[in-house]
Structure formats: C-alpha cells, structure tokens
Amino acid sequence: MLYCLPRFSDCSRFHFVGTYNKRRQLKLERSAVCAQVKEPPAEGDRVIVDGDNGPIVVAKIDGKYYAVDAKCPHLGLPMKQGKIESGPDGPTLTCNFHNSEFNMNTGVCTRWVTGALGFENDFVAGFMSNVGGEKKNVQAYEVVEADDGSLSLVMPSK
C-alpha cells in the first residue's frame, strides 16, 4: 500500500513516500517532491504543471505516466504542445520549435537539431550553433500515484 505523509513545516521541499511490509512496519524514503498533479491526464493526453524550475509536461502513454521539463534547453522555448510519440525505450517529446527529441522516461536528448525550424543545413546550422544552448538533456521525474488518483512528481532516486 502506497501513501504519502503530509509535508512538514521544517522541510517544506520534502515529503515522505512509504510502503507497509508484511509486518506492517513503515519504510520511509525521503524524496524531493517537485510538483503535484491533482487531475492526471487521460490515456494519450497531457497536463502541464508548475515545477520548481518551470513547467513540467505530464503524459499518460501506454498506461504509464511520464513527466519531463517542458522547456527546451536549446533556446528555452516551451515544449508544452510538442508531439509525443511512443517508442521502444519510452515515449519521446519533440520540441515544436526546432524538432529536437527527448526521451520522456530518461530525459535524454535522442535527436538534437541545430537548424532553424527543425531543418538542418550547413549555413543555418553554423549560425544557429552560436545561438541558444548546447545539446543537453531535460529533467525526467518519477511519477508516484497516490490512492486518491493524484500524482506526485519526484526527483529520480540515484
């Protein structure tokens, strides 16, 4: 049985996620909660929530919830409306401005586009390489579902 304890005033950025074992002893794991989702998305849909570092896109794909930062590291543009497609290693979120792709399971950049509007060419890529950030991954979050159906987005355990 998974449940969440309330936040404590002296550690408002943390709360505890625990499970009961067969002896009904509580095992606690301290996790940084980055955002809460009170109304999770339906299958194939997404919601946007505010996180500590900006917007986070939360999607339900193939029966599983995924969450990643919704800001592209290239120019800091929002990926809230980016295309989400299923893949063998989890779904990918595509930046709707320049078509770079990010694995929603891991946050790893699987395709980095340096051209304008998602098109590569040597002239534009040379100019665009001096504009915006370099190839980076986005933050992926673990999604914990509570008994009431709400979701907590937590930093992945290492």
Q: Is the pTM of this model over 0.95?
A: no
At residue 37, what is the residue type? V
Q: Under a CB-based contact definition with an 8 Å cutoff, are residues 75 and 69 in contact?
A: no
pLDDT of residue 89: 92
| Count of domains observed in the chain | 1
The residue range of the domain holding 76 is 2-154
Q: How many helices (H) and strands (E) does the chain have?
A: 1, 12
pLDDT of residue 103: 98
pLDDT of residue 40: 97
> Which residues in the chain land under pLDDT 50?
1-30
Q: Under a CB-based contact definition with an 8 Å cutoff, are residues 136 and 124 in contact?
A: no
pLDDT of residue 111: 92
CATH classification of the domain holding 10: 2.102.10.10
Other C-beta atoms lying within 10 Å of the C-beta of residue 86: 11
List of residues 6+ apart from 10 with CB closer than 8 A: none
